Structure 1
């Protein structure tokens, strides 16, 4: 056996170890929400998960985005599927649920219970969370709106988690940033959301 042939197995081992270490340094971010983060009406590459991953990588961050949003999902649906979604072992979860609860007029205490249950499961798994808040539709009245809108701040305080107060901040009621339905952000709207949210995401993965 020559000197160089002896070196080949060593080089292979070093290569495997290097790849393994690199994979360990990649932060996995689970996007867990509804149609707003699932990319309703958009191409996959224009949806929130893909654009967020590109933005983070352009900043030199080693990340892997795991899309796990379901269009039409409520807080109850999310609570039922969260443990399955955690099989990918994410380091961070961006939790974006509640919009459909508000549209359906679900009692805020029910939404709170479901989101609390999700947060508790994430805490037990030592996963960092960025809570993306939502606001109740104004047509449901002041009392409903007041109770609903307090849910996210309350959860943030109870679990000591970061809160992005309103997922659609800077996008809602701006036709040029929304699809024709006036509810879901278009490609430019997604970019605006990511631009505003990015500093908080970076803070969580650093």
Structure 2
């Protein structure tokens, strides 16, 4: 009887461990939490939000400040360690700031998604939108690569990392209240709103893990 109880206890523990989903957040300074105390960054706030929703999730902060899609593609293989079940990809902002050819960025993102496909890891790809200062052709190519790659790889897709900052009015001017002084990175309240907007998509990602 003691052996049976021990075995049942071990089985229950193993099932509990398997029920916990590990998600790697591959990104740049937006993921890394630039300019904020660690607890206020995107990954810690998202983990707290998910836990409050009852999700047994561990988020790994794989954000590197200043990283481009090329940097993400270079380190995706070791990011996809055996314990990783799913991945959030938030890359491209630095490509855009540097005016990198969208075709190059697209190839790098494709490499990241292909690596996740090979590893059997589900992905939530978070898009971005280029401003118009590089011209309409650049903007069209940059904006389109995210939904098109998500569809091609069967990844989940969220249109914008900053969607939660414009409020119900959708007014981009509302962004200013939730940004740090550099106008690029969100402050702690901005991150909270970003997490609230993206959280349901991350929950969907967690639920898609088999």
What TM-score do you get using the length of structure 2 for normalisation? 0.89
Structure 2: distance between partners of 1:39 and 1:12: 43
Alignment gaps of 5+ in structure 1: 1-5
Return the match for 1:36 from 16, 30, 33.
Answer: 30
Distance (Å, rounded) in 1 between the aligned partners of 2:147 and 2:57: 27
1:18 deviates by: 2.6
Across the aligned residues of Structure 1 and Structure 2, the Cα RMSD in angstroms comes to 1.6
- Deviation of the 1:149 alpha carbon: 0.8
**Which residue does 2:168 correspond to in 1?**
none
Q: Distance in 2 between matches of 1:160 and 1:61?
A: 23
Q: 1:165 aligns with which of 155, 159, 184?
A: 159
Matched, 1:86 2:80: yes
Q: Deviations over 1:145-167 (max 9, x none)?
A: 11111110110111121110111
What SS does the corresponding residue of 1:150 show, helix, strand or coil? helix
How far apart are the structure 2 equivalents of 1:130 and 1:55?
17
1:10 Cα deviation from its structure 2 partner = 6.0
> Which of 24, 27, 44 in structure 1 is aligned with 2:21?
27
Does the aligned pair in 2 maintain the 1:32–1:69 contact within 8 Å?
A: yes
Q: What residue is the counterpart of 2:180 in the other structure?
A: 179
Mapped contact 1:31–1:93 kept (Cα < 8 A): yes
Counterpart mapping for 1:49-88 below 5 A: 49-88=43-82
Question: What is the alpha-carbon distance in structure 2 between the residues aligned to residue 98 and residue 54 of structure 1?
Answer: 26
The equivalent of 1:3 in structure 2 is none
Which residue pairs with 1:140 in the alignment?
Answer: 134
How far apart are the structure 2 equivalents of 1:192 and 1:131? 18
Structure with the greater alpha carbon radius of gyration: 1
Aligned residues: 200
Residues 26-82 of structure 1: CA deviation (Å, up to 9, x unaligned): 011110000001000011111111111111111111111111110000000100000
Query: Aligned residue for 1:131?
Result: 125
Does residue 110 of structure 1 match 2:111? no
Question: Contact 1:33 / 1:68 at 8 angstroms: preserved in 2?
Answer: yes
Query: What's 2:205 paired with?
Result: 204
TM-score by length of 1: 0.91
SS of corresponding position for 2:120? coil
